[in-house]
Amino acid sequence: MNEELIIGIDLGTTNSLVGVVDSGFPLVLADREGGRLTPSCVSWATSGEPLVGKEAFRSRMISPERTVSSIKRFIGRTFSDLTAQEREDAGFPLVAGRYDEILVAIDPETLATPEEISALILARLKKIAEEALEMPVSRAVITVPAYFNNTQREATKRAAGLAGLTVERIINEPTAAALAYGLDKLEESATVAVYDLGGGTFDLSILQMRDGFFEVISTAGDTRLGGDDLDRVIARHFAATLALGELSPGEEATLLARAREVKEALSIEDSVTARFPFFRGSASFELELSRPALEKLLTPVIERTRPIARRAFAEAASKGVAEVERLILVGGSTRIPLVREKLQEWFGLVPDISQHPDESIALGAAIQAGMLCGRVRQIILVDVTPLSLGIETFGGLMNVIIPRNSTIPVKAGELFTNAVDHQESMAIRVLQGERELAKDNWLLGEVTVPFTPGPKGSARVGVQFAIGLDGILEVLARDTVTGEDHVLEIRNAAIDVDDEAVERMVSESIDCAFDDMNERIWTEAKLKSEELLPAVGEALALVGHLVPADDLAGIEAATARVRSALESESHDSTALKSANAALDEATQTLAAILVEAAFSGLDS
């Protein structure tokens, strides 16, 4: 029995949990202090072994640049994929490795990949489970955001391997939440939407539950949208209101921590005062924030979930599932009253808050683990792949082989032949995404299809693209002579360079990580100004007469501020960014009036 045990893990952006099924019931395991949430934090604040979890979380104020949080945002991504803003928001230095992988650079001697950092968190969860269960554990089900791509899923799996865990299944977070929701309702038939807004990722999945089948109909998401973004908006508001100017890493960490506390408190209270004692030298600050003021700040971020959700709803409708009966909320950010109000307004459904926002995904992971080791029966889980899979064709287009929202496991074959005489092989670039041009999608890697040498068109190799239950791709080539399948390796397409060059690159990029950043941020900010300024003029020409005088004055002042920041010799990116943000905010009403005018044109 002991050998058979599989644990369920929710590896979250902010917090992680571990659960198991006991006597048919899923439960979350507590650590020695009775805590069920382990902060997804790792810190090198002290010498020796890194701190993980609560201890690491506590050290983030003292040693913000040596404390890593929200590492999930970076797992399975490449360095060149990151925007300057993302690098700045990380709060700890990031550099590029030899394969364009992301390295967290605590100091030149301490470099760690997102996988290695995730592995430390997973190892902590493994230990919590072993202590709580009083037995060794080596097998796990791990949840990932539904919208995670192949590379992010594989990286998560590798992280588990580093932590000494064999991954028995990767499952999607909203699907896990649906399992937790539906376990005691197996006799019911229902169509539900799971709205999962966590610390760093957002997913919306629509499922049909019928006769013990839990079938995902459609899923959509954003792997870079969550509570972190809400905290950042609040922290920026603090910095702007208190006119703090440039912030040190420690000050930024303090602002973010207060922002999170204020956000959480305002889910219950109507008004709170954020205090910053001895914030800068002996200077202390305080600032009152009301719930309406907070909601005004959060609205643009929460609004970003709407089109994504609408997309999933529209896609389910096109598959014949038009009516969603229940809207289940999970993820810590769904505690925010504004989220619940908005959802009701958008979808006309009273949100179902019966699930524990922090724990239901871990419970679902535990249920899936229970299903795999035979502790839970009756349920059949049917999930889909969130992104279309394809290959690059001549001319740089993406040819879809497996469309998104296909039921997994799924496989699809393509036949390849030699285009010239005696061609030995052919390289295929494998992509994931919905865009027409290959370069706009994620490049998963390259596979080489071997040919038996012969005249042009004589070789015939059937290549099978198979997405398994983990949502992970396997590419197989079938030898037409022997009929045997063999797995083709999906190689990273980045160019290999020698070790010395890598070391040099890494150390150079650590040295200039911050210089380089200022110029990059300036360029990004300048682009944004150049986008906004002409739009303001055009929009005012169109609907200016409909805008209240107060707003007009605000827009004028904010426009002037952007212009003067743009003209500054010093390229002060902080000033330009905050001027842009102010103009962005000042034009929200104008934007809303434009949208309304566009829709009212429909009626006339």
Partner 1 sequence: MTNYFALLGLPEALSLDPEVVETSWREKSRALADSSSGSEAPLDHPDLNQARSTLADPALRLAHWLALRAPDSPADRSIDPSLMDLFSAISPVLEKTDKLLASHRRATTALTRAMLTHEAIDVQLQIQELLQRIQPLRSSLTGQFDDLEKAGGEDDFQPATRALGQLKFLKRWEEQCRERLLSLIAC
Which residues are catalytically annotated? 10, 72, 173, 196
Q: Is 541 among the residues that bind partner 1 (CB under 8 A)?
A: no
Q: Is 588 among the residues that bind partner 1 (CB under 8 A)?
A: yes
Q: Is 595 among the residues that bind partner 1 (CB under 8 A)?
A: yes
Residues constituting the chain: 604
Quote the distance between the C-alpha of residue 128 and its chain's center.
Answer: 25
DSSP state of 380: E
- For residue 194, what are its two tokens? 């799971």
- Sequence-distant (6+) residues with CB within 8 A of 345 are none
Kindly state the smallest distance separating residue 603's Cβ from partner 1, in Å.
11
Which residues, 342 to 371, sit near partner 1 by CB under 8 A? 371
Q: With CB under 8 A as the rule, give the number of residues binding partner 1.
A: 54
Quote the distance between the C-alpha of residue 319 and its chain's center.
Answer: 26
Q: One symbol per residue from 381 to 420: x for binding partner 1 (CB under 8 A), - otherwise; what is it?
A: -x--------------------x--xxxxxx---------
Nearer to partner 1, 68 or 536 (CB): 536
Which residues, 39 to 98, sit near partner 1 by CB under 8 A? none
Which residues, 474 to 533, sit near partner 1 by CB under 8 A? 528, 531-532
Q: Which stretch binds partner 1 (CB under 8 A): 105-113, 300-308, 325-333, 563-571?
A: 300-308
Which residues, 421 to 480, sit near partner 1 by CB under 8 A? 434, 436, 466, 468-469
Kindly state the smallest distance separating residue 327's Cβ from partner 1, in Å.
18
Q: Is 219 among the residues that bind partner 1 (CB under 8 A)?
A: no
Helix-strand-coil split of the chain, %, nearest 5: 40, 25, 30
The one-letter code for the residue type at 79 is F
Answer whether 572's CB lies under 8 Å from 517's CB. Answer: no
Q: Is 374 among the residues that bind partner 1 (CB under 8 A)?
A: yes
Kindly state the smallest distance separating residue 226's Cβ from partner 1, in Å.
18
One residue of 33, 134, 184, 211 binding partner 1 per CB under 8 A: 211
Q: Is 295 among the residues that bind partner 1 (CB under 8 A)?
A: no
Answer whether 405's CB lies under 8 Å from 315's CB. Answer: yes
Kindly state the smallest distance separating residue 402's Cβ from partner 1, in Å.
10
Answer whether 472's CB lies under 8 Å from 383's CB. Answer: no
Cα–Cα distance for residue pair 401/422, rounded to 1 Å: 27
One residue of 213, 285, 347, 416 binding partner 1 per CB under 8 A: 213
One residue of 168, 173, 196, 229 binding partner 1 per CB under 8 A: 168
Nearer to partner 1, 55 or 585 (CB): 585
Of residues 81, 83, 58, 82, the one with CA closest to residue 69: 58
Residue 112 host element (H or E)? strand 110-112
Cis check: omega of the bond before 409, within 30 degrees of 0 = yes
Answer whether 190's CB lies under 8 Å from 209's CB. Answer: yes
Bridge partners of 113?
A: none
- For residue 205, what are its two tokens? 């999945």
Q: Is 380 among the residues that bind partner 1 (CB under 8 A)?
A: yes
Cα–Cα distance for residue pair 8/180, rounded to 1 Å: 12
Q: Is 372 among the residues that bind partner 1 (CB under 8 A)?
A: yes
The one-letter code for the residue type at 355 is Q
Q: Is 599 among the residues that bind partner 1 (CB under 8 A)?
A: yes
Counting Cβ atoms within 10 Å, is residue 300 exposed (0-12), middle (13-18) or buried (19+)?
middle
Distances (CA, A) of 375 to 129, 131, 277: 17, 21, 53
Q: Which stretch binds partner 1 (CB under 8 A): 197-205, 247-255, 563-571, 592-600?
A: 592-600
Binding interface with partner 1 (CB under 8 A) = 4, 6, 168-169, 211-213, 220, 300, 307-308, 310-311, 314-315, 318, 371-374, 380, 382, 403, 406-411, 434, 436, 466, 468-469, 528, 531-532, 535-536, 538-539, 584, 587-588, 590-592, 594-595, 597-599, 601-602
